[in-house]
């Protein structure tokens, strides 16, 4: 399992990752693909730290290499999940699983 924190929102209701180039993030996706190739379950979880998120997408215009790595990982069998969180000064709680949209660019 790999978990990424998400907070970018450039379009109302659409949370996006990454907010900058992340070679390390692409490496993590390749590692998850290797886990699947070895016969195990692998999951990429995007935790959205915004209550106003209704859907999630990769920001391919910010990091095309990460978006490509995610597409390859998904095709290899890595599960891609996005969850919106409720935040308070005391805790962070999973609120709801939200749909993943195809990257727009």
d(Cα 74, Cα 93) in Å, to the nearest integer? 26
Q: How confident is the model at residue 34 (pLDDT cuts 50, 70, 90)?
A: very high
Q: Is the pLDDT of residue 22 over 80?
A: yes
Q: Where are the beta strands (DSSP E) in the chain?
A: 2-6, 8-11, 14-17, 43-48, 55-58, 79-87, 92-97, 100-101
**Mean pLDDT over all residues of the chain?**
95
Q: Is the pLDDT of residue 105 over 70?
A: no
Mean pLDDT, range 67-92, rounded to an integer: 96
Domain covering 2-101: architecture: 3-Layer(aba) Sandwich (3.40)
Mean pLDDT, range 51-72, rounded to an integer: 96
CA dihedral 67, 40, 83, 22 (to 10 degrees): -30
Query: What's the confidence (pLDDT) of residue 62?
Result: 97
The sheet with strand 92-97 has its strands ordered as 2-6, 43-48, 79-87, 92-97
Query: What's the confidence (pLDDT) of residue 102?
Result: 79
**CB distance 57 to 19 below 8 Å:** no
């Amino acid at each position: 399992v790999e978990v990424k924190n998400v907070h970018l929102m450039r379009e109302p209701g659409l949370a996006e990752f990454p907010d900058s180039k992340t070679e390390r993030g692409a490496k993590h996706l390749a590692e998850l693909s290797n886990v699947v190739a070895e016969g195990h379950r692998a999951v990429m979880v995007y935790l959205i730290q915004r209550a106003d998120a209704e859907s999630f997408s990769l920001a391919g215009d910010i990091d095309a290499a990460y978006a490509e790595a995610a597409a390859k990982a998904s095709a290899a069998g890595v599960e891609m999940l996005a969850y919106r969180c409720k935040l308070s000064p005391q805790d962070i709680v999973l609120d709801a699983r939200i749909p993943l949209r195809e990257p727009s660019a």
